[in-house]
Amino acid sequence: MNKKTILSISFVVMMSIGLVQFATSAPSQPVKKPSAHTANAINTTSLNIVNNPSKYLNKTIKMQATFDKFSTLGLDYKKALRPSDKYIGILIQRDDVMDHDIPLSEMKIFLKKEMAEKHIDLETGDKIEITGKVFSTALNDPWLDVENLTVIKKIKKDDKKQ
């Protein structure tokens, strides 16, 4: 082999090694920062909030819950106004009752209608995570504006209680 052939083979080998390293390296992705409402959220349960609403007043909370239904409960109440033309309420199920469904009506939970439209397919029994701010304790109940709602698990039609 002459010098020119050896240099050509070496060049091809070096280029191949570089391409393999490039193809197998993970692309650099920007680090996703938690949003402000998630970063400072207090992880808790719905019953903790209901049992001590003033502790959570003006605080951002995060909780997991079981969706019950959309509701108009609490809308247009003047002391904690969320107008029915811009908001819809949701009810979640009580965490302390397992043998049947009981809505936690003591907690008033509100979504802007635009957010609710994105979750119109929610069914009773779906597991959700809510991040929101307790904005009032009117009637000694917690009133919560939802900032983020994530569906954790959709209930299968066969799993629904008869």
The C-alpha atoms of residue 94 and residue 108 are separated, in whole angstroms, by 13
Residue 156 pLDDT > 50: yes
Query: Domain ranges in the chain?
Result: 36-159
Query: For the stretch 49-85, what's the b/e string if a residue is b when 16 or more beta carbons lie within 10 angstroms of its beta carbon?
Result: bbeebeebeeebbbbbbbbbeebebbbeeeebebeee
What CATH number labels 36-159? 2.40.50.140
Q: Between 38 and 19, whose confidence is greater?
A: 38
Cβ contacts of 125 within 8 Å, gap of 6 or more? 66, 67, 101, 155, 159, 160, 161
Higher pLDDT, 31 or 138: 138
Tokens of 74: 């609490």
Based on C-alpha coordinates, what's the Rg of the chain?
26
Question: What confidence tier does 129 reach under pLDDT thresholds 50, 70, 90?
Answer: very high
Chain segment 22-52, per-residue pLDDT in tens: 444 444 444 444 455 567 899 999 999 999 9
Whole-number percent of the chain with pLDDT over 70: 73
| Residues 6, 13 contacting (CB under 8 angstroms) | no
